[in-house]
């Protein structure tokens, strides 16, 4: 007699469980890195995620693998938020909300700074990944707000990303409320010459 086949949907359920474990690990690692730094014991991350240390190492054999995955996961989530906000808000509001979402990303990125700027070649691809994902996400929001006549149309997205990052690092005592106020003023400044004939590059 042949063996009874596994119930339908079993492989999908296993994959779904693995995906949940992976997301839980990345979320836990981000939290631990933010509070304890990137050299925090991996056992602390596994415990916070509620998984065994073997599960962590199965996904991330090296600490650098985990740090890269945490960074990329944050970039992906921030980039994905642009389309979600654009679908549910007016153009300028979507842009404003996304810029504040980007502030949150920059704040969480601080926990990874020691690794990202260490000179380790394991992280060499991350700046390009950051620009590849976030630049077009912001460009789409700028284009929509510009087409609606709500902001000027000669804004370079990478300049804006860098400007917000600078505001995040210059806040006195790292005060997030101060950062949000300053970024809000920056975003309001994009309205200057809104609806004029100025085009990108002019």
**Best CA proximity match to 26, nearest among 120, 18, 124:** 18
Domains of the chain: which residue ranges? 11-61, 65-190
pLDDT in tens, 34-87: 888 889 999 999 999 999 999 999 999 999 999 999 999 999 999 999 999 999
Cα end-to-end distance, the chain, whole Å? 77
Split at pLDDT 50, 70, 90, the class of 184 is: very high
* pLDDT in the model for residue 2: 40
* pLDDT in the model for residue 5: 47
pLDDT in tens, 11-20: 455 466 777 8
pLDDT over 90 at 121, yes or no = yes
If one counts every other C-beta atom within 10 angstroms of the C-beta of residue 172, the result is: 7
Which pair of tokens denotes residue 121? 């070649």
**Best CA proximity match to 32, nearest among 43, 19, 20, 45:** 45
Out of 105-109, 127-131, 190-194, give the one with best mean pLDDT.
Answer: 127-131
Q: What is the CATH number of domain 65-190?
A: 1.10.357.10
Please, which residues have CB within 8 angstroms of residue 32's CB and are 6 or more apart in sequence? 40, 44, 45, 48
Helix residue spans in 89-125 (DSSP H): 91-109, 113-116
Q: What is the CATH number of domain 11-61?
A: 1.10.10.60
């Amino acid at each position: 007699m042949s063996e009874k086949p596994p119930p339908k949907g079993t492989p999908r359920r296993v994959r779904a469980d693995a995906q949940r474990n992976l997301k839980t690990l990345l979320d836990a690692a981000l939290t631990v890195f933010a509070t304890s730094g990137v050299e925090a014991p991996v056992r602390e991350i596994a415990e916070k995620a509620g998984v065994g240390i073997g599960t962590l190492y199965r996904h991330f054999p090296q600490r650098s693998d985990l740090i890269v995955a945490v960074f990329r996961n944050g970039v992906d989530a921030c980039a994905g938020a642009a389309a979600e906000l654009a679908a549910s808000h007016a153009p300028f509001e979507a842009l404003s909300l996304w810029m504040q979402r980007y502030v949150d990303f920059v704040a969480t990125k601080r926990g990874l700074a020691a690794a990202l700027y260490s000179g380790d070649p394991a992280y060499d691809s991350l700046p390009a990944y950051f620009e590849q994902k976030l630049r077009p996400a912001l460009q789409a929001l700028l284009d929509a707000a510009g087409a609606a006549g709500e902001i000027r149309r000669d804004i370079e997205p990478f300049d804006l990303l860098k400007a917000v990052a600078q505001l995040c690092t210059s806040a006195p005592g790292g005060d997030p409320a101060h950062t949000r106020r300053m970024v809000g003023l920056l975003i309001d400044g994009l309205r200057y010459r809104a609806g004029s004939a100025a085009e990108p590059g002019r």
